[in-house]
Amino acid sequence: MKLVFGLIGALLMILFVGSIVIKIKEVALVAVVLIGVVMMLVDLWQARNEADT
* DSSP-assigned states of every residue in 4-35: HHHHHHHHHHHHHHHHHHHHH--HHHHHHHHH
Which pLDDT tens digit goes with each residue over 7-43? Answer: 999 999 999 999 999 999 999 999 999 999 999 999 9
More confident residue, 35 or 49: 35
* Angle of the 27-47 helix axis to the 2-24 helix axis, nearest 10: 180
10 neighbors 41 (Cβ within 8 angstroms): yes
Burial degree of 29 (CB within 10 A; 0-12, 13-18, 19+) = middle
